[in-house]
Amino acid sequence: MSASPITVASLAAMKARGERIAVLTCYDATFARLLDEAGVDVMLIGDSLGMVLQGHSTTVPVTLDQMVYHTACVTRGASRALVVADLPFMSYATPERALESAARLMQEGGAQMVKLEGGEPYLDTVRLLVTQGVPVCAHLGLQPQSVNQLGGYRFQGRDHASAERIRHDALAMQDAGASLLVLECVPQALAAEIARTLTIPVIGIGAGVECDGQVLVLQDMLGLNPGRAPRFSRNFMAAGGAVREAVDAYISAVREGQFPGPQETAY
């Protein structure tokens, strides 16, 4: 683990060297310090905070003001990891609105990259953001902000048409200038193919072990979710010990290709 700050270029170099990237969500300064000291590469201020912190059933109610607030909390605790912040629901409905929202997340929150959900309809948005100096992480597969349209949290890309759409969108997002891609809840073979094809790092969540890195919601990884844990998650606190030990175990499992295992993977 290098003590140098992680950058977009660092992540690209890790992919080129075949080093897996460890990502966790984070929402406050205390956990940001702990994750930084443990060596997490990327901290994602996810709009998942709407569910794990605020108690909502979806991410849809999360506002831009709330995302700015939590991003600022994390950046006050982070010193090494790259800080990525979600653009919440409807905050990037147009390219111009996306630019205004990203500016707030970066200027007020201190984010170093923003993440948005969606494929081809958002290519112009990605191009505009990148042109204005905003690094972008794309998010394909299961898109939690679209849960009402999808009819629930369902795996994606299992039929030929939807798999082709995800392949197309992944390449298109890279061509538009995205520097990172999250693939959520897609079959392992599809995720592996996309990770091999793209030059940018591909971070999986419920997408198999062959991605360039993995991300989990911090509370799920620590077994703090009182409901049924997502199938793709693992409770790294199950063996006991301290929170830091659980984070260390997660990072090691990602780096060594031991997470996710078959039981956490959709085929």
Which burial class, exposed, middle or buried, applies to 108 when counting CB atoms under 10 A from its CB (0-12, 13-18, 19+)? middle
* 220 is an annotated ligand-binding site residue: no
Return the bridge partners of 181, or none. Answer: 138, 202
* 47 is an annotated ligand-binding site residue: yes
Looking at residue 159, the DSSP 8-state letter turns out to be S
Q: Which of 19, 37, 96, 184 is catalytic?
A: 184
Q: Which of 252, 177, 192, 213 is CA-nearest to residue 17? A: 213
CA distance linking residue 166 with residue 236, whole number of Å? 30
Distance of CA 101 to the CA centre of its chain: 18
* 15 is an annotated ligand-binding site residue: no
Q: Which of 37, 56, 35 is CA-nearest to residue 45? A: 35
| Tokens found for residue 217 | 């919601």
Active site residue 210: no
* 117 is an annotated ligand-binding site residue: yes
Looking at residue 19, the DSSP 8-state letter turns out to be P
DSSP H helical segments within the chain, as ranges? 8-17, 29-38, 49-52, 64-77, 95-107, 123-131, 147-150, 160-176, 188-197, 218-221, 243-255
* 2 is an annotated ligand-binding site residue: no
Annotated binding site: 47-48, 86, 115, 117
Active site residues: 184
Annotated binding site for Mg(2+): 47, 86, 117
Annotated binding site for 3-methyl-2-oxobutanoate: 47-48, 86, 115
